[in-house]
Chains A and B, each alone.
Chain A
Amino acid sequence: MLQWLPENVSTFGQGVDNLFTLIYWITVVVFIAVMATLITFLIKYRHREGHRAEYIEGSTTLEIVWTAATTLIVFGLAMLSLPQWNKIKSPTDFPENPDVVVQVSGKQFNWDMTYPGPDNELGTDDDLELENELHVPVDAVVHIRLTAEDVIHSFFVPQLRLKQDALPNRFIDVWFKAIKAGRYEIPCAELCGFGHSGMLGYLNVHTQADYDAWVKERWPQ
């Protein structure tokens, strides 16, 4: 099952995959145990002439045992995931001093990427707007200011294990640090109208040298 996960290329992605794997094994074991019990019962206690069911109304001990066991497992899982979740989504936990800041805005049916340019200010003359192409350096902290112009979209980069809805008139910050250069797809994951299917941008993760060259080409001064 897990081999179907797309390759992970973000720093926090491994944490997500580890949780995924942990839950996978817990659920596989529980599933097999429950099914094995069920099938054993079905075979062993099938109706046979002359045999009568045993009158059992329940067992308080068992009820307590399985309630407690399940509670412990699910609570344990919740506790394990809290730090991971905060690391990815809580703005207060983001790495400070990002290397790149980009505003990404979803609109029917494109991703608009706005770079603040050398002055690091959005809304100035040196801003650069690109349609559907996001360029970042590898091994660098990228902050994205996510918003939308019309309806809700969702910024999804499977290989980064990152997904966040983009809302009109709201700015939501997300971050990532890619660890492998390459070109990755940015599908929209939230239904946004008839062009939702095929609303697709690209994340270009460059080596530092390539990225510097790209910056130079855009802002020659």
Chain B
Amino acid sequence: MHDNEHASHHHEESFIRKYIFSLDHKMIGKQFLIYGLIMFFVGGGLALLFRWQLAYPEKPLPVIGASPQYLEEGEVVTGVDKMWERIYESEKEEWLEVNMPNGVIEPAFYNMLFTMHATIMVFFVVVPILVGAFGNFLIPLMIGTRDMAFPVLNMLSFWLAVVAAIVMAIGFFVPGGHAAAGWTGYAPLSSDPQWTGVDWGQNLWAISLLIQGFSSLVGSINYITTIINMRAPGMTFFRMPLVIWSLFIVAILLLLAFPVLSSALALLIFDRLAGTTFFTATAEGGGDPLLWQHLFWFFGHPEVYILILPGMGIASELIPVFSRKPVFGYRSMVYAMIAIAFLGWIVWGHHMFQSGMRPALGSAFMTTTMLIAVPSAIKTFNWLGTMFRGSIRFTTPMLHAIAFVSMFVIGGLSGIYMANTPVDIFIHDTYYIVAHIHYVVFGGSLFAIFGGIVFWFPKMYGRYMNDTLSKIHFWLTFAAFNCTFFPMHILGVGGHMRRISNPMQYEFLQTFEGMNIFITMSAFTLGFAQLILVFNFFWSIYRGKVAEKNPWHVNTLEWEAPTPVPHGNFGQIPTVYRGPYEYSVPGEEADWIPQAQPEHVPATSGD
């Protein structure tokens, strides 16, 4: 660590500067990570509530549900019955009484649960972790600079996200309940309170997403500026690690896509509060419900790629490191991401095949959507190529990367069915879509997130996560994930609609009762497995084994910085001599050559 001695002889920072209103990109990254993990539990908890209803419709929830005796004869037998008794006797309309009398989920509450589950997972978990946490932590370290271009904006980005989360949380407790029109908020269900009875819930939903949009904008401007202007000497664009490429592209997508959602949300708020009719077709003319869908999906499809590109980037870091090989087709990986970023703008109509949009447009969107499957396939083949003739180490991060690739393959292939307009007629708005979403976002993005957390934890916190717990978490998650979401393809093929609270109301869905119960049990296991992750995470921050500087023998610059990384990151800014994936170079003794190692000096192992 000789060259890093004078790293940062800054003044001691106050607690508030260091941990709360921090300007340091690493601390902000960790703040986003913990923020995302907390929201992950909120979002997951909501899902378990509605999964219960789907398996056991109209049955009281475990723990807080009333006993059968109480339900049938009003006889108070358990402490919980007493609680319900008190609630019914009270003058006030209690929250529990409105939403789940006796512990049975009301249909309106059910709609709110899945709406908020998806909203939270997309906007408050996956994006904050992938973009907020990994983006902040990795960008300056991996391109070799001391911080983001605009540290104050960076802090603002995090605190705006906190404000957005608080506004979103308040929505649960306003009269009329929270937004219940789906995460896609289709108008006029969302734009006119008379159709749902939801009043300020939907307004707060929109306002919170507007704030979250500002947070993303501020963050993305920062990322773009930093990556363009602050790369270390020698760090050309084509020497950048692929995860940095992915974050760069995502920042551009965020910058261009979010304003579209913000505009749509603003119009929605006008419709709801100012009496405009942008999204309502009135007899005198006025607006059009399909306008909302076009605006939403013009944002929404780039958004789903925002959810996956950094995951692809993370996988593209982990696979070469643990195969000890250069990434296969580095440039084609970059071009594939750029292609996705361009094509992502002209496929939004594939969410609207059955919406009443002109059928000819459907054909056009089918063609562009089929095209976007091509770069996804290219990436998959390149990951396989990276493992070809490698020397693969099955570390926990690598297991997650392998899971990422295989789950992404399933999610990509299921996309082909839906891209096919005639087939989509049948599976649109069924559980097939739900299966697809979860294979790409949970199977894809979340496995990448888990792998990334275990991989970079030693650099973030200076300690290792407990490997046994990490492995148990991986295998449990992998098994429970597939048991939860694979059967949803079958439900979809059976025609099982999404967003219904009681499948048993339909004759043709009776056969799926057992499958729904199985899915719910798997979902509870999946939820339980995440407790292991969180326990391991927080325990390891304090108790984990102390990590060395570069435990996985990685070439990229973040591992040049001392552990724990000081304020300012590097003693001297490193100079970059080569690409990020020079592993097992012939003629070299070590199987890795760090990017910052000058030419012709044999590599030594990390200290």
Contact = CB atoms under 8 A, between A and B. Distances in A.
B468 interface: no
A55 B436 CA distance: 36
A193 interface: yes
B429 interface: yes
Contacts of A31: 409-410, 413
Contacts of A154: 354, 429
Contacts, number: 278
Chain B's interface size range is 35 or more
Interface in B300-333: 323-326, 328-332
B390 A45 contact: yes
Interface string B270-287: 000000000011110000
Given A53-B391, A71-B374, A59 B354 contact: no
A59 B385 contact: yes
A34 B380 CA distance: 9
B321 to A, nearest CB: 11
B328 A57 contact: yes
A62 B181 contact: no
B196 A23 contact: no
A23 B107 contact: no
Contact of A196 (B111, B282, B384): B111
29 contacts: A19-B420, A23-B417, A26-B416, A27-B414, A31-B409, A41-B387, A41-B390, A45-B390, A46-B391, A55-B325, A57-B328, A58-B382, A81-B421, A82-B366, A85-B366, A150-B188, A151-B186, A151-B195, A152-B289, A156-B495, A161-B425, A168-B281, A169-B282, A169-B283, A194-B180, A197-B499, A197-B505, A198-B107, A198-B505
Given A158-B508, A198-B502, A34 B421 contact: no
B429 to A, nearest CB: 4
Interface of A: 1-2, 4-6, 15-16, 19-20, 23, 26-27, 30-31, 34-35, 37-38, 41-42, 45-48, 51-59, 62-63, 66-67, 70-71, 74-75, 77-78, 81-82, 84-86, 88-91, 108, 150-152, 154, 156, 158, 161-170, 172, 185, 187-198, 200
B182 A191 contact: yes
Given A59-B329, A77-B420, A191 B186 contact: yes
B54 to A, nearest CB: 10
Contacts of A163: 354, 425-426, 428-429
Interface of B: 106-108, 110-111, 180-182, 186, 188-189, 195-197, 280-283, 289-290, 323-326, 328-332, 354-356, 359-360, 362-363, 366-367, 370-371, 373-374, 377-378, 380-382, 384-385, 387-394, 402, 405-406, 409-410, 413-414, 416-417, 419-423, 425-426, 428-430, 489-490, 493-495, 497, 499-502, 505-508, 583-586, 591
